[in-house]
Structure 1
Amino acid sequence: MEKIKEVIVVEGKTDTAIIKKLFDADTIETHGLAIDDKILDLIEQTNQTRGVIVLTDPDYPGMRIRNMIMERVPHVKQAFVDKKDAIGKKKLGIAEAREEAIIEALQNVVTFTKDIQTITWQEFISLDIIGDKKRRLEIYDLFHLGYGNAKTLYKRLNMAHISKEDILKKLGE
């Protein structure tokens, strides 16, 4: 069983159970949107000592939790499971996700920083991503950046230091 040195931030008990089934890892549970300053303090302290990987559900509450954590701990590591891989019978989430998707997400962790622009808005527009959902989702998948609209993709590409050339290379163009 693979050991993960960082602590994985998840939303709840069922997410912790699946992580512990797949990895030798510790977790911090946010209790969904009930995340409070005590939990954010714990995440911040843990990030300074062991590092933290945020793995929340690929839905709106999961994104809100992720954003709250990023505001407090800007350079936290991120892992994303695609929506299509996290649909259960009645719910959408990490606990419902395919095990391979969780493993892949944790093998393709990204760290966002806000200080460098690696792709300009003009370069981004020239890639014909806006208005082409299929192409946008393909780029999200190729770089393991989660899910969002075109503006979010533009921000995340810059935060992950991905250039137009990197995108074209991965797309094979």
Structure 2
Amino acid sequence: MTKIKEVIVVEGKDDTKQIQRAVDADTYETNGSALNDQDLERLKKLQASRGLIVFTDPDFNGERLRKMIAAAIPGVKHAFIRRDQGVPTEAHGSLGVEHASSATIKAALAHLYTQAPTASATFTHQDLQGAGLTGNARARQRRERLGQLLGIGYGNGKQLVHRLNMFRITREQFINAVQQINREEENE
């Protein structure tokens, strides 16, 4: 079983159980989407001593938590799963990491992104518009697929520009992903 040296930040105990089925790792449970000053101080200490991987649910609260941590603690790593990979198998339950397969968790942890401050914006809203990622009927699906291909999760137009720049996606990576989306749409 793969050993992860960093501490993985998750939302709850069910997330911890599922991650520990996939990899040998320590987790820090936030117990929801609220973080207090004590939590942030503990997370800062963990980042300094072992490093952190933020692995929150692919929903509004998970993204909110991810943003709070990233804003307070520079240099954290991020792991993402797609929304469709976190759907509960039973009628009840909410979208989350606890429903992801071990293979999905391992793949997400193998493709981490480290948040880096952006000196200057590489991507703009015009880039998204030119690539058909905003301003048309299929834009949402195209943004979702781009997030999957690049491993940075889904975002609306404004969030996607921010993520492309924050994770320092190269122009070449962006173009290759957009070309793949175009090929997939041609084959539909």
TM-score under structure 2 length normalisation? 0.85
Give the Cα–Cα distance (whole angstroms) in 1 for the partners of residues 173 and 143 of structure 2. 15
Q: CA deviation at 1:32?
A: 0.7
Q: Which runs of 5+ in 2 are unaligned?
A: 181-188
Q: Is the 8 A contact 1:59 1:92 kept in 2?
A: yes
Of 125, 134, 155, the match for 1:148: 155
2:101 aligned with 1:101, yes or no? no
Q: How does 1:36-51 map to 2 (within 5 A)?
A: 36-51=36-51
Q: Which runs of 4+ in 1 moved over 4 A?
A: none
Task: Give the CA RMSD over aligned residues.
Answer: 1.6
Q: Is the 8 A contact 1:124 1:164 kept in 2?
A: no
Give the Cα–Cα distance (whole angstroms) in 2 for the partners of residues 144 and 13 of structure 1. 24
| Number of aligned residue pairs | 173
- Between 1:2-11 and 1:107-116, the stretch displaced more is 107-116
Q: Which runs of 5+ in 1 are unaligned?
A: none
Q: How does 1:1-173 map to 2 (within 5 A)?
A: 1-88=1-88, 89=90, 90=92, 91-116=94-119, 117-130=121-134, 131=136, 132-172=139-179
Q: CA deviation at 1:171?
A: 4.0
Q: Is the 8 A contact 2:128 2:157 kept in 1?
A: no
Give the Cα–Cα distance (whole angstroms) in 2 for the partners of residues 128 and 13 of structure 1. 40
Q: Is the 8 A contact 2:125 2:157 kept in 1?
A: no
TM-score under structure 1 length normalisation? 0.92
